[in-house]
Structure 1
Amino acid sequence: MIEVFKEKGEQVFKKVTTDPRWDINDQTLFNVFGLTYYGYCFGIGRLVCFLEPEDINAFVQEKLEELGAGKKYVSGLIEFAYSTFTQSTEGINAQLVGIGHSHFTSINTDDLVNSVFNNAKSIA
């Protein structure tokens, strides 16, 4: 099942990072993507593929670091995102995780990808 998880996670990752709207230098966009992406991956990983949170976290960590983000920064982002599933968390960042999570069953991820860019624009 881990291969299915990685394949689905990789598809969304590539859709966002190869989109012409992607700008690695836009920190707001990176954060919106990271949190939304985590929510999506957590849904696929836990509820579809029955993976342990540590495996999901490691995958997302690797993908976000692949973009050039620092390990400590990414691990803080992931720690926060994971906490939204283990304790009551409110605010825009928790909502972004929830948006990603709400799309984990989507076959067509275009709406998810567009939400990353639209939400980053509305937050900026």
Structure 2
Amino acid sequence: MTQDALTKQLGTLADAVRADPRWQQDDLSVEVLCMLLYGFALMTGRSVMFLDVEDIDAAVLRCLTDHVGAAAKWSGGLVAEASASAMNQAHHRAHHALIGVGHSYIGADNLKPVVDNIFTNIAYTRRYLEGNV
């Protein structure tokens, strides 16, 4: 398997999220989506496609810029944060937790529950940061 194949899988999921009327193109939504996509990409890329972490990082970056429309430099920093958080829970506990949730998306045949879960995590994160949790 290749980096392009992983990028295509990530793009399919990101496109489904962006097509949903609940999507808001703001920094928080993109950040949460990135962490969830990174978890999915890490699990799929390592376990199924046997890709190196560099290829996984590149696939997530391409997805963020090509499918989500996020700025390349900002997205590169976000992917670096995701990579660091995936390997070290203490780096950023919330990112680490979201990446773990993203792992669970592997093998999902139906995107609707995955998309719903992404929006649930975005809403929860937003409420948490507003002090409403």
Cα shift at 1:55: 1.1
TM-score by structure 2 length?
A: 0.80
TM-score (norm 1): 0.85
Contact 2:65–2:75 (CA under 8 A) maintained in structure 1: yes
Q: How many residues align?
A: 123
Runs of 4+ in 1 over 4 A off after TM superposition: none
Aligned position for 1:13: 14
1:58-97, aligned counterparts within 5 Å? 58-66=58-66, 67-89=68-90, 91-97=93-99
Aligned CA-pair RMSD = 1.8
Aligned counterpart, 1:50: 50
Q: Give the aligned partner of residue 33 of structure 1.
A: 33
Contact 1:100/1:112 (8 A) holds in 2: no
Q: Per chain length, whose mean CA-contact separation is higher, i.e. which structure has more relative contact order (CA < 8 Å, sep 6+)? A: 1
CA separation in 1, counterparts of 2:102 and 2:37?
6
Structure 2 CA distance, aligned partners of 1:12 and 1:100? 11
